[in-house]
């Protein structure tokens, strides 16, 4: 008898053959050869294949987020279903959660080599933030009194400083960060992990993840989907497709058909609309003439039948 086929979950409804995932994984790791984004595999006792590694996520927020004031010693509350899946990831992230500091060494790649996260866990502020602009202007002119005043407004949380004046801000649009995840973590769990890494106070329900393609197509990762598996399926090149976090009420999916027109200038799109209107009018005229002729024939037949019955 042949070997039983095993599958990897893309979502609760979709399964992918293990052989197909391993083939894609070889391509993925070949692309990242010599880098720390290669993925490792392990097999559970029940035969389930698990992928593990770093997942890049791009910031696409339009509104400010809030940073938490408490540190790791306070209880981090998760849903019961999330706790077991996130326990290993949170322990791996414990050395990488300092805002604005370099990441410590993480576990090795498939060959057992040591690796470091390329992206330090820091949130780049958008230059539109007024608080950030004030900090930039004053950064070169701090006096002893200014520094003393600044110390009274901030305190250290695991190596990063919480500043009351700059605790609400918008991450720079398009900047990238990463989190260490595995293929059994759902979209909601990945969002929880990302927000906890940077001590973001906002709830994960306020955000969603999208796969954004080079063409402009945007596909939302549903709550029951597994982002790391989706990353492998879409390929390793982030110029072609990348994962973006955005507000749940601001993001929307863009189909491939619509995406083809997004990059055109407004005058070009206006000309398309005019052409479509002209075509619509031609079709309306054709249908009007066609059904007008049919109406005349039916009326003629009815009139002819009425004259025949009168003679009888």
pLDDT digits (tens, 9 = 90+) for 23-58: 999 999 999 999 999 999 998 888 788 999 999 999
- Is 197 in contact with 96 (CB distance < 8 Å)? yes
pLDDT band per the 50, 70, 90 thresholds, residue 100: very low
Q: Across residues 117-125, what is the average pLDDT? A: 53
Yes or no: domain 1-69+148-262 corresponds to CATH 3.20.20.70? no
User: Greater confidence, 185 or 6?
Assistant: 185
The predicted-structure confidence for 159-184, as pLDDT tens digits, reads as follows 444 456 667 878 889 999 999 999 99
Q: Which two tokens stand for residue 247?
A: 């507000």
Domain ranges (residues) in the chain = 1-69+148-262, 264-311
User: Cα separation of 178 and 200, whole Å?
Assistant: 15
Q: How far apart are CA 167 and CA 169, in angstroms?
A: 6
129 against 204, higher pLDDT: 204
State which of 20-29, 40-49, 74-83, 100-109 shows the largest mean pLDDT. 20-29
What residue has token string 């949380």? 157
Quick one: pLDDT band at residue 126, thresholds 50, 70, 90?
low
140: exposed, middle or buried (Cβ count in 10 Å: 0-12, 13-18, 19+): exposed
21 compared with 113, residue with greater pLDDT: 21
Tell me if 116 sits within 8 A of 36, measured CB to CB.
Answer: yes
């Amino acid at each position: 008898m042949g070997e039983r086929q095993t599958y990897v979950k893309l979502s609760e409804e979709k399964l992918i053959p293990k052989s197909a995932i391993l083939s894609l994984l070889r391509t993925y790791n070949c692309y990242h050869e010599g880098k720390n984004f290669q993925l490792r595999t392990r097999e559970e006792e029940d035969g389930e294949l698990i992928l593990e590694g770093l997942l890049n996520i791009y910031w696409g927020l339009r509104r400010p987020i809030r940073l938490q004031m408490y540190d790791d010693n306070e209880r981090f509350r998760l849903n019961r279903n999330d706790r077991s899946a996130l326990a290993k990831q949170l322990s791996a992230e414990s050395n990488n959660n300092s805002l604005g500091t370099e990441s410590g060494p993480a576990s090795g790649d498939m060959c057992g080599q040591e690796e470091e996260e390329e992206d330090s866990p820091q949130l780049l502020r958008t230059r539109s933030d007024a608080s950030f602009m004030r900090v930039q202007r004053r950064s070169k002119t701090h006096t002893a009194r200014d520094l003393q005043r600044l110390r009274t407004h901030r305190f250290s949380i695991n190596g990063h400083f919480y500043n009351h004046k700059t605790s609400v801000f918008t991450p720079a649009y398009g900047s990238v960060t990463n989190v260490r995840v595995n293929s059994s973590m759902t979209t909601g769990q990945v969002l929880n992990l990302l927000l906890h890494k940077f001590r973001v106070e906002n709830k994960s329900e306020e955000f969603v993840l999208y796969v954004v393609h080079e063409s402009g197509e945007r596909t939302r990762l549903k709550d029951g989907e597994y982002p790391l598996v989706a990353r492998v399926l879409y390929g390793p090149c982030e110029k072609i497709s990348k994962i973006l976090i955005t507000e749940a009420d601001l993001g929307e999916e863009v189909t491939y058909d619509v995406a083809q027109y997004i990059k055109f200038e407004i005058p070009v799109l206006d000309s398309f609309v005019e052409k479509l209107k002209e075509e619509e009018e031609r079709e309306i005229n054709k249908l009007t003439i066609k059904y007008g002729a049919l109406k005349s024939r039916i009326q003629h037949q009815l009139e002819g039948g009425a004259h025949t019955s009168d003679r009888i």
